[in-house]
Each structure stands twice: as C-alpha cells, then as structure tokens.
Amino acid sequence: MKNILIIGNGISGITAARHIRKMSDYEITVISAETDHFFSRTALMYIYMGHMKYEHTKPYEDWFWEKNKIKLVRDFVTSINCDGKSVDLKSGKKMNYDMLILGTGSKPNKFGWPGQDLIGVQGMYSLQDLENMEVYTKNIRQAVIVGGGLIGIEMAEMLHSRNIPVTFLVREQSFWNNILPAEESDIVNRHIRNHHVDLRLETELKEILSDENGRVRAVITNKGEEISCQFVGLTAGVHPNIEFIKSSKINTDKGIVVNEFFETNIPDVYAIGDCAQFDPPIKGRKPIEQVWYTGRMHGETVAQTICGKRTAYQPGPWFNSAKFFDIEYQVYGNIRNDLPEHEDSLYWEHENGKKSIRIAFDKATTKVLGFNLMGIRYRHDVCDRWIRREAILKEVIQNLKKANFDPEFYKEYEDQVLMSYNKKFPVDQVSSTSRRGLFSVFS
C-alpha cells in the first residue's frame, strides 16, 4: 500500500487528499504547522469582523478526517531527504513517504523596510496572523496599510468594521491598475474613499518608526510625510513559501518548478497550489497561480496522477472573484488592464458608479475573450462556454440575459449593455429580447 505524504493543509493539499481517498485505499498523511484542521482561508476576515467564528470556517466536521482515514499531523517540516524519501519535523520526528505532495502555500512579501519586524507590523495570510491582528489592533487610534492588492482592501474593510481609521498607501497611480482597466480601477478608488479610508495613491512606504517598547508608532512615506499609527498591515503581495525546500534537491525558482502534471525534477515528488511554478507556463496562464479555485483544480488533477491516471493540468479560461467592500468583482477569461492593439472592449457603467460590465473581444473576428463584472453577477458556466467556443460579440449580446445570475427582484442591466453595443456598432444593430426562463440558460 502506497504512503502519500502531503505538506500543507490548504485548499490544494486537502483537495488532493480527498480525491486520492475517493480513488484509492492509500495511506494519506497531511502535515501542517498552522492548524489542526483545514479551514477556509478566505473567511479569516469575517472572523475578525464578527460575522463568523473559527469553527464556522471549517468545511468538514472534525470527525471527517478519521472517518475517511486521512491522518493529520500538527508539525513543521524542516527538511526533505529526497534520496531517502523522508521528511524531518521540528518535533524531531522523521516521516517516510512513497509519494510526496508539496502544498506549502504563500508568505506575505517584505521588502527590507526599516522597522518591518516591529511589534504591530504584519501581513494577513495565516490564522496566526489573524490572532496577532486581534491583539495588535486592540484600542489603537490609527492603522496604515501598505500595498494595493486584494489582501490590502480586505484588511481595510476589517479595520473599518471596528471604526479604526485607516491610511492606505498604494504606490500605483490607481488601485490595482496592474490588473484592472482604468474605469474599473477608478470605481474601486471612489468606493474606498466613500468608506472613509484615506487612500494615498503614488505613495510608498520608506520606513517604520518604533516607540520605546519596540512597537510601531509611525511610518515615513517616500514623500517625507510622517503618519502616526499603532498598526501597519504589510499587504504588498505574497510569494511561494519554499525556504526549507531550497536546501533539498528539488528544483526551485520563484516557486517549486513543475510541469503540467505537477511533477518536480524528483520522481514521486509533486507541487501544487500557491507554491507551484509551471515551466513552461500553461498557455494563457501565469507561471504561478495564487488563487483559491486554481488550488482546488491543482489538487483534483494531481490526485488523478497519484492514483495511476497521469493527467495534465488543463484549466481552461481564467476565472477569479473578489470583493471591494460591498462591490463584488468577477472576471472570466482574459481581461487586460491595457488592451493590446488587436483587442477592443464594450464597456458599460451604471450612473451610480458602482456597477459595470466589460466584454473584451478580438477586433478582427469579434470573438469574445473575456468578461469583467463589478457589482453584477454572471453565470460561470455560461461565460466559460462562450469563451471556450469562441462565440462572437453579437451572439453574446443577443443572449446576454442568459448569463445573469443576480437574485430575483434585482435590477438587470443587459438592455443597457445592448444599447451600448448598438451605439458602438450602429450598422449591426441588435434588438432587445425578453427575459427567458431559467431552463433556457442551459440550452
């Protein structure tokens, strides 16, 4: 019987364990130093905000693991012996494996800022980070967040929920404009400020100052301004958590180098999730995918190979979702922040400045390439199908109501998008169609 060892109990590692168990009777052991049980990392913010308790973030009851014969070990892996097929643990124990899956996740970036290791300065990734944030933000007067990404805006919302004033330092000219087109980025800028967050664009952290007890008391920006604060959130992105792996024979670059089967250069050693780096990259995708849903797909795919059905990763069109305070964001397919010469997009924005729909397409063929949605929900399966079969823009516009996924009694805006289309393409007018029933969505 094969012995499968999985390092990391995040979405990728646990998905791999579950699917291996469905297909085999292999011995499965999951090692994690973070928590006893798998939990939803994306729900950490809601624990801080009082919407959930930690136990509510666990998708499976604690008895699930023993019942399904998945052994859980709470420990920290310090080294990997590839020749002897074993790992060393911080507790002094050694564990052997027949196959090893590395799902070690990410760590918040630090860029050598003076004072970055002071008390009250931290990232937001692990349960321990949440616990530290609870301690360090108690009774504080002011907080500063550094870095304009998704974790940064989540932390801003967390602090805002406790009425803690926040200054948000973003080095770019506009929030997340390396990902979002200008119009959508402007929507987020306005929304952040409407929530009384002091958004400072084109502003970078230069130094963090300490009080007499080794705790943060202020930051200095690249503009020479001193901002008083008692907490600093470092949210300038994350990087693969692979420090202990670099001393092994496993090839690493920015992440653990894998092929499309998640195989490393060492036989029987695989890497999945945030720590995996595809070489070469999967067509149309980035070398490192640090998104919850891709981590799940990684786990499902590698389980097939582990159980004897060698399966390449074929993720299909890109998808991601997030939330900017109370504006939901979805992206399907390729939406670039700066359109290349051969692409164009149809863009509609609601007069309230909180909702928008963008459909990107190829200029020459009008084949739809992707959808960007702010404050509006579309059906994943419908958008994915249109992109996969290269539907043309006119067809999508004619059937756009099929994609709508907002609940009953919500306002719908597809007719307004149609009007934008007719204005952009006056010689190719499309008539408005009535709302079809639910079952037509899947026709």
Report yes or no on 419 lying in a domain: yes
Sign of CA dihedral 254, 259, 264, 270: positive
Which pTM does this prediction carry?
A: 0.92
Domain span at 377: 319-442
The SS3 of residue 107 is strand
The SS3 of residue 195 is coil
Residue 406's pLDDT band (boundaries 50, 70, 90)?
Answer: confident
Q: Is residue 434 predicted with pLDDT exceeding 50?
A: no
- Taking each helix axis from N to C terminus, what angle separates 11-23 and 292-306, rounded to the nearest 10 degrees? 30
CA 406, CA 440: separation in Å to the nearest integer?
A: 16
Residue 409's pLDDT band (boundaries 50, 70, 90)?
Answer: low
Percent of the chain with pLDDT over 90: 90
Same domain, 246 and 210: no
Q: Is residue 269 predicted with pLDDT exceeding 70?
A: yes
Same domain, 289 and 149: no
CA 314, CA 2: separation in Å to the nearest integer?
A: 26
Report yes or no on 116 lying in a domain: no
Same domain, 97 and 132: no
Last residue of a domain, which of 281, 306, 331? Answer: 306
Same domain, 184 and 250: no
- 433 or 260: which leads in pLDDT: 260
Quickly count helices (H) and strands (E) in the chain. Answer: 10, 25
Same domain, 125 and 203: yes
Same domain, 226 and 244: no
Tokens 């974790």 locate to 151
Mean pLDDT, the chain, rounded, equals 94
CA 128, CA 79: separation in Å to the nearest integer?
A: 22
pLDDT of amino acid 429: 80
Q: Is residue 402 predicted with pLDDT exceeding 70?
A: yes
pLDDT of amino acid 428: 80
DSSP 119: B
Q: How many domains does the chain have?
A: 3
In 3D space, the residue among 138, 75, 120 whose CA is nearest the CA of residue 219 turns out to be: 120
Same domain, 164 and 125: yes
Same domain, 401 and 288: no
Tokens 């970078």 locate to 204
pLDDT of amino acid 408: 67
pLDDT of amino acid 93: 97
Same domain, 34 and 147: no
- Extract the tokens encoding 397: 């516009």
Report yes or no on 142 lying in a domain: yes
The SS3 of residue 218 is strand
Report yes or no on 113 lying in a domain: no
Report yes or no on 352 lying in a domain: yes
Mind listing the pLDDT tens digit for each residue in 335-351? 999 989 999 999 999 99
- For the chain, how far is it from start to end, CA to CA, in angstroms? 46
Burial 10-34 (b: 16+ CB within 10 A, else e): bbbbbbbbbbbbeebebebbbbbbb
Mind listing the pLDDT tens digit for each residue in 98-134? 999 999 999 999 999 999 999 999 999 999 999 999 9
Look up the CATH number of the domain holding residue 386. 3.30.390.30
Q: Is residue 405 predicted with pLDDT exceeding 90?
A: no
